[in-house]
Amino acid sequence: MDFFVRFSATPVTSYSATLQVNTLSAILLATVVPAPTLTVAAPCTGPDSNGAISFGRISQGTQQACTFSILNPFLQPLTVSPLTVSGAAFSTSSASAVTIAAGQSASFTIQFTPATASSFSGTLSVGPRTYALAGTGFLAPLPALIWTFDTTAISSGEQHALSLQLSAPSTVAAAGSVTLTFLPATSAVINDSAVQFVATSKRVASFAVSAGSTAITLNAQPNIVFSTGTTAGTLTFTVDPGIFGLSGSPSTSLTTVAAPISLASSGATSRANQLDVVISGFDNTYSMGAMSFTFFDRNGGSIAGFPADFTADFHAFFQNQAAGSSFLMRLTFGVTGDVSKVGAVDVALSNSAGTVRTPRLNFP
């Protein structure tokens, strides 16, 4: 019959016990040895809860050195052995064992030198404990980006072109992507799906450069057209060069500012005892609602004018919009008397950025 004896202890010392089975007895011996405490300095990170230590990403053929410290928190000297590093890209010049005085620490350095653009792993043994080492090498960074727009003074409801080039010829052929993100200036919405690259109808396009060239193609073209949408906010363009690094910033931003309501069309028509006004456009502030109407007779004389406030209606309407602030509204006015005597109407529409007026709208 087999049975097991479990041993567990925390204080650093030697332990003994007697095991008696019928007429047989045995002496059980165990020793708890002190465990060193390992810390690592930036730019490395860790150890995490799984004992992993990261050297991050560096250019292939370069070296990153990180300093490690072993603390002896106990009241007696501590000999740490083995103290070894393994892994193709990891090395250390420290001794394979070190003795640390009580309450003191000892430091050593590990070098990470990736020979190729790939991920590397290794191990660090510190006495009875083993830590996983990880790092990534990437190809030499591309030269800095030069961003060129047809204009940097952009507004909502427009299309513009972006082209890219490198500040110096690329030493390699590289490929990746350029991504467009959008942050609205208003809390009324969280996005505007109309902000996108026109060629792809998406917010991502391909990025490529040939060896020896400074010219970058976007979606296989020398430039790419993007739509600014109908929401005030910030458009950010970010290049991801794939396995390559990139000198300088990979991103740049443009801003569309809040503006008065943009009118696309307006018109007026009459029916029996009713007048209809139809207006389309967009409001990149999502704050429209206040309006005023001035009616005129067939000779151009003023008949009546009055204000109106549709703020609550537009607020409810914009809450259901995912593709910007475009609107089409029809307003119907009941007329007492001869509707044919009403010849025209002027309409003023306001938002938080200002007021716009339609041209005088004539009723047929």
Task: Evaluate whether 120 touches 112 at the Cβ level (below 8 Å).
Answer: yes
Non-local CB neighbours of 162 within 8 Å, separated by 6+ positions? 147, 148, 149, 218, 223, 224, 225, 226, 237
Q: How confident is the model over 171-226, as pLDDT tens digits? A: 889 999 999 999 999 988 999 999 999 999 999 999 999 999 999 999 999 999 99
Contact criterion met (CB below 8 Å) for 335 and 267: no
At residue 69, the pLDDT reads 97
User: At 319, is the secondary structure helix, strand, or coil?
Assistant: helix
What's the confidence (pLDDT) of residue 10? 65
Residue 27: predicted pLDDT: 87
Q: Is the preceding peptide bond at 82 cis, omega within 30 degrees of 0?
A: yes
Q: Strand pairing of 145-149 and 159-166?
A: antiparallel
Q: Which fold has domain 262-362?
A: Immunoglobulin-like (2.60.40)
* Torsion angle, alpha carbons of 271, 272, 273, 276, to 10: -10
CA-closest candidate to residue 159, choices 210, 97, 226, 85 = 226
CA distance 243 to 119: 11
Residues 219, 290: Cα–Cα separation, whole Å:
44
Q: Which of 5-19, 70-84, 85-99, 268-282 has the lowest mean pLDDT?
A: 5-19
pTM: 0.64
Q: Mean per-residue pLDDT for 316-340?
A: 89
Task: List the chain domain ranges.
Answer: 37-140, 143-256, 262-362
Query: What mean pLDDT comes out for the span 153-169?
Result: 97
| Mean pLDDT (whole number) for 127-152 | 92
Q: Is residue 283 within 8 Å of 276, Cβ to Cβ?
A: no
Mean pLDDT of the 272-295 span: 95
What whole-number percentage of the chain has pLDDT above 70? 98
Q: Can 143-256 and 262-362 be said to share one CATH topology?
A: yes
pLDDT exceeds cutoff 90 at 12: no
Does the pLDDT value for residue 35 go beyond 80? Answer: no
pLDDT at position 34 is 60
* pLDDT at position 33: 65
Amino acid at 324: G
Residue 100 CB neighbour total at 10 angstroms? 19
What homologous superfamily is domain 143-256 in, according to CATH?
Immunoglobulins (2.60.40.10)
Lowest mean pLDDT among 11-15, 38-42, 124-128: 11-15
pLDDT in tens, 242-273: 878 789 999 999 999 999 999 999 999 998 88
CATH of span 37-140: 2.60.40.10
